[in-house]
């Protein structure tokens, strides 16, 4: 019988392909939680384990562009997975599916993104100032960061950089470390994130190596401590961080902090660092404006040796506003799709690449939001967007700014532009005021909630 025959063949004659597929699935299961979801779906989902020898697992990938990308970006994770799921030494070879291997992009040099390798200072060389695009949204932070990198301990100490997720904080502190080290090779630099520090501290407590732990940090010339909002609610970690910070500060060593919120929103920190933050500088990074987003996309494309036409850059940048990380994700998605389908990078392709990633934002969205807010306060759009100064108008305008920020994640500058070119500090003040009102006045909070629901239901038009 045909069915029985093939069944036997599968088990006996074709045991190898079956094992290859299963092994690769195990590897993928191991890798999945360790990489970004988007990266996994883009690069690893279209792959398949296809043959297995005693020491090599061959994996079929859509084309050679994928093979290059996977080797450059995922080999560390794949290696770790293999050593976890295999009993013996194994390596992986990515084999492009021949029939598809004719793409335009693919014939170009493979992407030369530096591999995210860390050195003893836990710095990644490609996170440099050269690769960081400067715009209005981050100009001050970049200037401060450069100054600290050029004269650690002598300009702003500590430097405190805050901003939303994916806006470049880690990149910027890594750039400080890289530049400082390049100018003074002997400098004792160390980068760590607060959650890693926590793990290290726990281990030091378990292994009774607290002294070594303290000494390691006390000896530094430059400590880059990322994501210190993680300290909230962790008393023990706070103690250690203050100890480390104080001894470094007393010794004139430089400390740089990053956080997703300003120091005053981390109460434990504010209280204890307050006097010393005074001798330093607190700077924020805002979401990049359209021009900066376009420049960032262009820079990412250049790093990948790919051509990005202006209209496509504009199309993507106009739609992906929330973070640089999201922008980068969209670009990678676009690049993968171009290579997969062997199509040039065009607006049509971008439309396809972005359709699951971002909600299409109608250009008219912000107008509608302003209209809903104006209606809610019984004033006209014109009153709200021009300079009228009555109390009611001011509040309507501030609420509109708040809602625009919350729903469309427009940059402060973009919001200011919608209200007769208001300064970004005015917009920031408005958003803060509405946030405070919302926190202190339940009736106002309820009104705001109702307003937001009206906006998400798309009414009134
Ligand atoms: P954060 O630490 O603020 O969450 P990251 O520093 O990790 O954000 O940045 C997210 C990604 O965006 C990184 O790949 C980073 O290199 C990139 N990025 C952020 N800002 C810029 C910029 N101004 N120019 C170029 N790349 C940027
Ligand atoms: Mg970060």
**To test the ligand 1 pocket, which listed residue (325, 331, 411) has its Cβ within 8 A of the most ligand atoms?**
325
As a whole number of Å, the end-to-end CA separation of the chain is 67
d(CA 76, CA 280): 38
Largest CA distance in the chain: 88
Exposure string over 147-167, b if 16+ CB within 10 A, otherwise e: bbbeebbebbbbbbbbbbebb
Beta-sheet pairing, 159-163 with 91-96: unpaired
Identify which ligand lies nearest to the alpha carbon of 328: 1
For residue 168, how far is its CA from the centre of ligand 2 (angstroms)? 7
Record the tokens describing residue 239, joined without a space: 């103690």
- What pLDDT score does 193 carry? 94
| Ligand 1 atom 23, closest CA | 133
Report d(CA 325, CA 125) in Å as an integer.
18
Among 323, 324, 330, residue to substitute to test ligand 1 (most atoms within 8 Å of Cβ): 324
Q: Ramachandran region of residue 243, left (φ > 0), alpha (ψ -120 to 50) or beta?
A: alpha
The answer to whether the CB of 167 is under 6 A from ligand 1 is yes
Q: Which of 249, 240, 197 is nearest to 221 (CA)?
A: 249
Q: Which ligand is nearest to the CA of 260?
A: 1
pLDDT of residue 408: 74
State residue 96's pLDDT score: 84
Do 397 and 430 touch, CB atoms closer than 8 A? Answer: yes
pLDDT at position 36: 83
Q: Which residues, in sequence order, are bridge partners of residue 95?
A: 60
Rounded Cα distance, 34 and 87, in Å: 21
Tell me what pLDDT residue 109 has. 34
Nearest to 405 by CA among 367, 426, 431: 431
Give me ligand 1 centre to Cα 172, in Å: 8
pLDDT in tens, the chain (461 residues): 444 433 333 333 334 555 888 889 999 999 998 888 878 888 898 899 988 888 889 999 888 788 888 988 898 899 989 888 887 788 899 988 764 443 333 333 333 444 444 567 899 988 999 999 999 999 999 999 999 999 999 989 999 999 999 999 999 999 999 999 999 999 999 999 999 999 999 999 999 999 999 999 999 999 999 999 998 888 888 888 999 999 999 999 999 999 999 888 887 776 777 677 777 899 999 999 999 999 999 999 998 889 999 999 999 998 888 889 989 989 988 998 898 878 899 999 998 888 866 554 444 478 888 988 888 888 899 989 887 788 889 999 999 999 888 777 678 888 898 998 888 889 999 999 999 999 899 889 888 888 877 776 543 33
Q: Whose CA is nearest to atom 26 of ligand 1?
A: 132
The verdict on pTM exceeding 0.75 is no
Where in 35-163 does DSSP place strands (E)?
48-52, 56-61, 91-96, 159-163
- CA nearest neighbour of 189 among 217, 223, 152: 223
| Ligand 2 centroid – CA 436 distance (Å) | 27
From 123, 132, 168, the mutation candidate for ligand 1 (largest count of ligand atoms within 8 A of CB) is: 168
Ligand 1 neighbourhood includes 47 CB (under 6 angstroms):
no
- Tell me what pLDDT residue 357 has: 64
């Amino acid at each position: 019988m045909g069915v029985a025959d093939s069944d036997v063949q599968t088990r006996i004659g074709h045991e190898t392909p079956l094992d290859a597929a299963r092994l690769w699935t195990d590897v993928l299961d191991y890798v999945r939680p360790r990489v970004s979801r988007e990266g996994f779906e883009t690069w690893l989902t279209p792959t398949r384990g296809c043959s297995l020898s005693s020491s090599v697992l061959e994996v079929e990938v859509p084309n050679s562009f994928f093979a290059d990308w996977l080797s450059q970006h995922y080999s560390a994770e794949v290696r770790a997975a293999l050593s976890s799921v295999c009993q013996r030494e194994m390596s992986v070879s990515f084999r492009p599916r021949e029939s598809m291997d004719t793409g335009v992009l693919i014939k170009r040099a493979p992407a030369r993104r530096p591999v995210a390798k860390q050195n003893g200072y836990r710095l990644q060389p490609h996170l440099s100032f050269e690769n960081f695009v400067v715009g209005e949204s981050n100009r001050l932070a970049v200037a401060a960061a450069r100054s600290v990198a050029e004269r650690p301990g002598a300009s702003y100490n500590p430097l405190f950089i805050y901003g939303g997720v994916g806006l470049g904080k880690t990149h910027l502190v890594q750039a400080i470390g890289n530049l400082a080290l390049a100018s003074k090779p002997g400098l004792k630099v160390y980068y760590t994130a607060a959650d890693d520090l926590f793990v290290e501290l726990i281990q030091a407590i378990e292994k009774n190596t607290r002294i070594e732990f303290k000494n390691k940090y006390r000896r530094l010339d430059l400590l880059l401590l990322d994501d210190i909002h993680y300290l909230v609610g962790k008393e023990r970690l706070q103690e250690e961080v203050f100890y480390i910070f104080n001894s470094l500060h007393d010794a004139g060593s430089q400390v740089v902090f990053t956080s997703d919120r300003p120091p005053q929103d981390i109460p434990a920190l504010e209280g204890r660092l307050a006097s010393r933050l005074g001798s330093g500088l607190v700077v924020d990074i805002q979401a990049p404006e359209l021009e900066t987003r376009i420049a960032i996309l262009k820079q990412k494309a250049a790093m990948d040796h790919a051509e990005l036409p202006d209209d496509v850059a504009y199309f993507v940048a106009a739609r992906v506003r929330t973070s640089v990380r999201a922008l980068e994700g969209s670009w990678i998605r676009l690049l993968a799709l171009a290579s997969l389908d062997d199509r040039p990078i065009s607006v049509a392709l971008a439309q396809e690449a972005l359709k699951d990633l971002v909600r299409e934002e109608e250009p008219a969205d912000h107008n509608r939001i302003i209209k809903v807010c104006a209606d809610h306060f019984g004033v006209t759009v014109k009153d709200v967007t021009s300079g009228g100064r009555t109390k009611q108008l001011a509040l309507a305008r501030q609420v509109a700014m708040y809602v625009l920020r919350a729903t469309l994640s427009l940059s402060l500058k973009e919001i200011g532009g919608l209200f007769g070119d208001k300064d970004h500090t005015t917009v920031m003040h408005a958003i803060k005021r509405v946030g405070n009102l919302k926190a202190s006045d339940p009736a106002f909070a309820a009104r705001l909630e109702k307003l937001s629901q009206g906006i998400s239901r798309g009414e009134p038009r």
